[in-house]
Amino acid sequence: MPGNAGNGVRTSAVDAYLGGDRPNLTVRAETPVARLLLDGHRARGVALLDGAVVEAGEVVLAAGGVATPHLLMLSGIGPADMLRAAGVPVVLDLPVGQGWSDHPGVFVPFTAADPPAHPRSPGSQAALDWNAGSDPGGDVEVLAFVRPFAPAGELHLMCTVASPVSRGTITLTSPDPRVRPGIDYRYLRTEHDRRLLRHAIRTAADLLRAGVGTRVAPGGDVLGSDPELDRWIGAHLTTAVHLSGSAAIGPVVDPRLRVHGISGLRVADTSVLPIVPRRGTAATAVAIGEKAAQLLGE
């Protein structure tokens, strides 16, 4: 599985792209943004939570799949009825926060007598992506974690739906930027997605039976019943944290990442992806940043 590490050290985007002091860059840590500053339908900066303002010729939102749409909605850009209900004046009616997708998944715990000792060993870098239907791409993924998340803890196979059909929503609940938005993941709302996740978990169990390790859960009686397995999934469901499409290209931004109807405003994170990629979003997010930098320079 590809990674952005060399000699056991992870390379961050800061290390890869900035590399030392930049006289044209100011980083303000612990400086939360309250909302965009708008003159009509033009962005001219951001208002900070402490009351200060930062003005700019162009604003680029890169706060991620949840905070970016939250900032847009706090600024009056979003579904009009939702904004009015939250007490925010409507600047522009756009489907912000609607119809996004992510990778739902569960961890299948196991034990192993002799797990690989090094995180770069072949066993720790194994990921299975395969087609569970007629689609030519990978529908599900089983990813091996051969280092425990806690000292002396269990190992895990993470099973995820790589091509989900279910879609989620983000809802503005208050004009106060300190109040978090409502998130309805709507995972596994379709039989398509439930079938795929069952398939991934049963495949993980087959791998463990073949000698990868000893399964801790779910039990055989659960694996053999769709309703029981669905209940087990519901009790252990988690997210791969790959939320995409909450300010998507098409309905919210154009192909040059500009927010429709607002000049001087772009989005440059996984919010713009119409659907979640079939793999993790880290490299895709970096590619979006590279493209945004290119567009800003044109």
The CA distance from 200 to 106, in Å, is 10
Query: Burial code of 176-215, b = ≥16 C-beta within 10 A, e = fewer?
Result: ebeeebebebbbbeeebbbbbbbbbbbbbbebbeeebbeb
pLDDT at 244: 98
Q: Which CATH number fits domain 17-100+243-297: 3.50.50.60, 3.40.50.720, 3.90.1660.10, 1.10.357.10?
A: 3.50.50.60
Which pLDDT band, with edges at 50, 70 and 90, does 32 fall under? very high
pLDDT at 114 over 80: no
pTM of the model: 0.90
> Hey, what are 193's tokens?
């997605």
The percentage of the chain sitting over the pLDDT mark of 90, rounded to a whole number, equals 69
Give the mean model confidence (pLDDT) for residues 254-261.
98
Which pLDDT band, with edges at 50, 70 and 90, does 129 fall under? low
Look-up of token digits 């119809």 = 99
As annotated, the residues of the chain forming the CATH 3.30.410.40 domain(s) are 104-165+185-239
Q: Answer yes or no: 242 catalytic.
A: yes
pLDDT at 210 over 60: yes
pLDDT at 133: 57
- Which tens digits make up the pLDDT trace of 162-177? 999 999 999 999 999 9
Which residue in the list 199, 236, 242, 260 is annotated as catalytic?
242
Q: Is the pLDDT higher at 65 or at 209?
A: 65
Q: Which CATH architecture has domain 104-165+185-239?
A: 2-Layer Sandwich (3.30)
Give the mean model confidence (pLDDT) for residues 214-236.
95
As annotated, the residues of the chain forming the CATH 3.50.50.60 domain(s) are 17-100+243-297
Give the mean model confidence (pLDDT) for residues 235-257.
97
